[in-house]
């Protein structure tokens, strides 16, 4: 998930070069990331379990990786659970890139949504959207979303086309535990989305680069700021940033994270 600077990293003294598919960087696993793979699907109670084997060298990554993702729906909560094991030490960072618009199908934008993200700090990025390495306090910045903030008004204060930043839900030394991460409310409809996750970060993205070419249900076209994403994740480019949370999965270890999306009304 997310970006790796120049598609390059070093693990255990060996250099690896990934597909570069987003300017000078690697994005979302490469040209044929897991989002473009054919997964094996199995029905489970209240949901579905998907599994995939990524061969050693896939998109330039080391190790054969066995991955599973389950989606289960209980009441008003959709739970996504990620597991992975690797034959070699490899970076791994799995997420879900679903877009939401709580106003409903065909709504042009998310300007009337209110967002809260429970993060004391965020990661500033360079001109190619790679974190600079600084972990900056949100205090006194447009990235302070700890209280309920109207998205449309705050977008006018954010440099660039909108939000596409990692918010730090924990410090790099914290134990990873499931926590309350974010809340988005659409006051007019009364719909609310709350996010809980064991991941140390969440990428808040406001669909800055959708251009209307993507057609959805009923012929609706999705343009800039027509939806938002809350991508729970490790911090971007952690494989190249020693001060960021560890993203390496070693043989014999298991990658395991849980994210819950709860839908309610006010």
What does the buried/exposed string (b/e) look like for 172-189 if buried means 16 or more CB atoms within 10 Å of the residue's CB? beeebeeeebbbbbbeee
Number of separate helices (H) and strands (E) present in the chain: 1, 22
Pairing mode, strands 214-215 and 149-150: unpaired
Spatial separation of the C-alpha atoms in residues 53 and 24, rounded to whole Å? 27
Look at residue 203 and give its three-state secondary structure. Answer: strand
Name the region of 243 (left: φ>0; alpha: ψ -120 to 50; beta: rest): alpha
CB 110 within 8 A of CB 206: yes
- 45 assigned to active site: no
- 256 assigned to active site: no
Spatial separation of the C-alpha atoms in residues 145 and 130, rounded to whole Å? 21
CB 182 within 8 A of CB 202: yes
Spatial separation of the C-alpha atoms in residues 121 and 222, rounded to whole Å? 30
CA 165 vs. chain centroid, Å, equals 10
Of the residues 231, 253, 256, 257, only one is catalytic, namely 231
Any residues with CB less than 8 A from the CB of 256 and at least 6 apart, and which? 81, 82, 83
Spatial separation of the C-alpha atoms in residues 155 and 31, rounded to whole Å? 30
Of the residues 97, 157, 165, 257, only one is catalytic, namely 97
Which amino acids are annotated catalytic? 97, 231
């Amino acid at each position: 998930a997310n970006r790796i600077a120049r598609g390059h990293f070093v693990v255990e003294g060996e250099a690896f070069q990934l597909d570069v598919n987003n300017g000078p960087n690697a994005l979302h696993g490469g040209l044929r990331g897991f989002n473009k793979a054919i997964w094996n699907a199995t029905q489970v109670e209240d949901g579905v379990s998907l599994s995939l084997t990524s061969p050693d060298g896939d998109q330039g990554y080391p190790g054969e990786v066995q991955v599973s993702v389950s989606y289960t729906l209980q009441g008003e909560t959709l739970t996504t659970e990620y597991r992975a094991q690797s034959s070699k030490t490899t970076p791994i960072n799995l997420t879900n890139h679903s877009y939401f618009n709580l106003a409903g199908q065909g709504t042009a934008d998310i300007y009337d949504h209110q967002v809260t993200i429970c993060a004391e700090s965020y990661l500033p990025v360079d001109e190619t959207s790679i974190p600079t390495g600084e972990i900056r306090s949100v205090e006194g910045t447009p990235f302070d979303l700890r209280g309920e903030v109207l998205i449309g008004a705050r977008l006018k204060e954010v440099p660039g086309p909108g939000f596409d930043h990692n918010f730090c839900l924990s410090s790099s030394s914290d134990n990873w535990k499931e926590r309350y991460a974010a809340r988005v409310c659409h006051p007019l409809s009364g719909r609310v989305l709350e996010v809980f996750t064991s991941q140390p970060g969440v990428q808040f993205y406001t669909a800055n680069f959708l251009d209307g070419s993507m057609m959805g249900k009923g012929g609706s076209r999705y343009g800039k700021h027509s939806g938002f994403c809350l991508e729970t994740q490790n911090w971007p480019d952690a494989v190249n940033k020693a001060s960021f949370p560890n993203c390496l999965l070693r043989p014999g270890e298991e990658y395991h994270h849980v994210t819950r999306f709860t839908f309610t009304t006010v």
